[in-house]
A and B are shown apart, each in its own frame.
Chain A
Amino acid sequence: MNAREWGVELDTLDRREMVKLLGGGIFILFHVGEPSSAQARQFGRYPDDFNAFLRIGGDGRVALFSGKIEMGQGIYTALAQMLADELDVSLDSIDMVMGDTLVCPSDMATVGSLTIRQFGPALRRAGAEARAVLLQLAAEHLGIPVGRLTVEDGVVAVQDDPGRTASYAQLAQGQRIERQVEEGVRTKDRSELRICGRPAARTDAREKVTGQAQYTGDVQLPGMVYARILRPPAHDATLEHVDTSAAEAVEGVQVVRDGDLVAVLHEYPDVAEHALSRVEARYTEPEPTVNSETIFDHLVEAAPSPQTVASAGNLDDGERLATQTFDNTYREPYLAHAPMEPHTAVAEVEGDHATVWAATQAPFWLGGPVAEALNIPSANVRVITPFVGGGFGGKTNTQHAVEAARLAKLAGRPVQVAWTRREEFFYDSFQPASIMNVRSGVDEAGKVVYWDYETLFAGSRGADLFYDIPHHRVLARGSWGGRDGGSNQAHPFSVGAWRGPGAHTNVFAVESQIDVMAAAAEIDPLSFRLNNLQNDRMRRVLEGAADKFGRQWQGAPSGRGYGVACADYAGTYVATMVEVTVDRAEGTVRVQRVVCAQDMGEVINPEGATLQMEGCITMGLGFALAEQIRFEGRRVLDQNFDTYEIPKFSWLPTIETVLIENTELPPSGGGEPPIATMGAVIANAIYDAVGVRMVELPMTPERIRRALQES
């Protein structure tokens, strides 16, 4: 349904009218709270009044309208659990309406593992408020004071007369009540929760196993055509000449052109693709200046001036206390997100209104650019987000939606733009290549006495110290966000967040360096860590992992291939231990076993949290062992999964996870933390196995063979 069919003019639609559009019921409007200043800088501010709401309808269904989206991380289920518990309804009475900009209030974007951590508590307050409203209605209806009522499964009953009941459906019928949640609403104590903290099966699973779940590419509108767009061979190439006559000769093809945007449209995507291959085009490319080999020298030149992340004591004093000092440089290349679903968008333009379906983590960021491209008010753009086939930080751009909108306007009918895998690799906003310089030292007792850390283009996440080091300094030069990464045109293509952005890079360097020092001090890597940190939560995850993994740690290299690494990712603590085998002749690494312990505060859905941990571990094998984008100038050489290798079934280790019980703290994010440890833990295990220290990711067979030859 488009905006017109809703009978509304979006540009005159006020946020409260938007709620009225939904008819009767009990509406609870709520606000997630102020974003931190860093988030506001990066993502923009939240609306002032409300940015999500609930509706309890006359049919007893509870709907949550939220700007968040489901891309596999499981919030579809976990948010429903949080709400069901507060409201005392069953999980299956909740409907999630997500990422539709017409009916859902703006909510930044679904990024940074923030949904449960930030949105969750506000949702709980809204659920509590809704329950209070319903209890008040029930009290009036039954003529019994609220204090004598109980609720179970959406039915209010009189405590001492359980036969007298009123269901939420009855109570909501014919009502039109709107409440805004105020601060200070009391939510349930942990002991009162029945749904949170217990495993819940994914509520979207049935649709997904039967092929019924709708993704953007599955949207088919009457009269819709598929577009294939002419692409340059390199970024910033200029189109000099184009001849589309051979393409136009293909039956049913329409070629459209608007400046540099040249596209072939057809009712079948594959015929459009075939016709596109018949377009002749000539480009001039910018002179190549860097490639995947020379990029690190370039980045050292291009890095902006440092910002101090942390600092204490005096580095010179620290260095004087050290009996052994270490100076290493660690590097990570560009990485692709490579979600299984490439960027896809469908656009329908009618007059000065547009509806766009898009594979996106940020539906509310699309309206502006689409409106600008169509020269219409941004309030006239409705964005709908079907299921998203993976994001990992990569689906926050707007190009696909803008392309679909421009082409729909040009063609005068709905257009689907579905990127090919090559386009997905070409236009990805890569995890930037990064360099970490680490100088450090230990004293005779095996205490780390100084730490001088500098990161280039990885930002500060994962670089904060949780070790007790009296003299330290942590500097960040540029970050992972934006094309320039904090410096004008440092990168040859756009870069951005990649699952656990910056953190998996920094933790690779930090936790490798800790291991280097442990080995030199001839202390086993677990004891060395425990000797150098007092943080209770970190100690608990290390102990928790060791309880499961085993405690036969020895000074490395022990020849057994054990590794350990730990991280604090935005308040979630994680420790990972692995066992690897290394084939000395081939240089191949096989991760046999992974144990991961995590403390994420309160756990809403242990099943979902565990699944996310396993996902991070499995995905993390990729950047540790194989993934790297190769490029020459502004040509991206990797175009498909034949050369850009992502983790496969044959790589799969046994995975054991431990969730550390911590009911003291509110829930923190779970979509990213363990991936932060995967580079370091495997590097450390390789060292323990064969005594070579890998300082550059990925740790490919070729690099391992070379390191073994040099050792």
Chain B
Amino acid sequence: MRQPIQFQLNDRPANLTVDPNRMLLWVLRTDAGLTGTKYGCGQALCGACTVLVNGEAVRSCMYPMQLVEGKEVVTAEGLARNGDLHPLQQAFVDHDALQCGYCTSGMIVNAYSLLAKNPTPSRDEILAGMNGNLCRCGSHNRVVRAIQAAADMMEGARP
């Protein structure tokens, strides 16, 4: 049943021997020991488990390991560089774009993918792009502001 699966995980090669039918979420949280990615619903309805696979935001609770072979996976733990927060992470801190923080990893990763596709989104585009990520504390207003701020920061940094 188990088979070796090789992929890039947060810029490092990973080689795990796992059941290919297992979902990426649980392999990340257990085998890989990366618990920043959260379980929220198990049915791709809440976005707490969002990670990047080849730059695309996917719901890792419904993303089987067999699809991960040879791909690049990035989680919330993989966004900072040498201790420097990614502009999105910094903007979430600066704008208090979180409360309990449980949905935050998924929010940031989803926003990362949103900005990769559309570096200067309008407010409505942010609302549409983030609509699959749920937050019960009601931090939405700040998340929108943080994404706008990060977009500005990243736009300014571009040559």
Docked complex: B73-100 residues within 8 A CB-CB of A: 75-77, 79-80, 85, 89, 92-94, 96, 98-100
Pick from B36, B45, B102: contact of A390, CB below 8 A: B102
| Cβ–Cβ contact A72 & B137, under 8 A | yes
A616 to B48, CA, bound (A): 21
Q: Which chain B positions have C-beta within 8 A of A205? A: 92-93, 96, 98
In chain A, positions 70-105 with a C-beta closer than 8 Å to chain B are 71-74
Complex interface residues of chain A between 203 and 230 (CB less than 8 A to chain B): 204-215, 217-218, 220
Determine how close the nearest CB of chain A comes to the CB of B129; give it in whole angstroms.
Answer: 8
Given known contacts A205-B92, A209-B93, A617-B138, A652 and B127 CB-to-CB distance under 8 angstroms: yes
Give the one of B36, B43, B108, B133 with max A CB within 10 A: B36
The distance from the CB of A499 to the nearest CB of chain B, in whole angstroms, is: 10
Flag A595-627 by CB within 8 Å of B: 1 or 0 each.
000000000000110010011111100000000
In the complex, the chain B residue whose C-beta lies closest to that of A215 is B102
Do A649 and B127 touch across chains, with their CB atoms under 8 A apart?
Answer: yes
Choice from B34, B45, B134, B139 contacting A615 with Cβ under 8 Å? B139
- Tell me how far the C-beta of B21 lies from the nearest C-beta in chain A, rounded to whole angstroms: 9
Interchain CA distance A20-B92 in the complex, whole Å: 40
Looking at chain B's contact residues, the main secondary structure is loop
A659 to chain B, nearest CB (A): 15
Contacts of B142 in A (CB 8 A): 611, 614
Min CB distance, A696 to chain B, in Å?
A: 24
Q: Is the CB of A418 within 8 A of B39?
A: yes
Q: Is A373 in the interface zone, CB < 8 Å from B? A: no
Contact with A along B13-38 (1 / 0, CB 8 A): 00000010011011001100111111
Are B144 and A270 neighbours in the complex by a CB distance under 8 Å? no
Interface of A is mostly: loop
Fill in one digit per residue for A56-75: 1 if any B CB lies within 8 Å of its CB, else 0.
00000000000000011110
Complex partner residue of A211 from B1, B23, B35, CB under 8 angstroms: B35
Question: A205-B96, A340-B46 are known contacts. Are A618 and B141 too (CB-CB below 8 A)?
Answer: yes
Any A CB within 8 A of the CB of B130? yes
Q: Give A612 Cβ to nearest chain B Cβ, in Å.
A: 8
Smallest Cβ distance from A130 to chain B, in angstroms?
29
Contact A340 B22 (CB under 8 A): no
Residues of A within 8 A of B140 (CB): 618, 647, 649, 652
Binding site for B on A (CB under 8 A): 71-74, 201-202, 204-215, 217-218, 220, 251, 267-271, 337-342, 387-390, 392, 418, 420-421, 607-608, 611, 614-619, 640-642, 646-650, 652, 655
Which residues from chain B sit less than 8 Å from chain A, CB to CB? 1, 19, 22-23, 25-26, 29-30, 33-43, 45-46, 48, 75-77, 79-80, 85, 89, 92-94, 96, 98-105, 108, 126-128, 130-131, 133-144
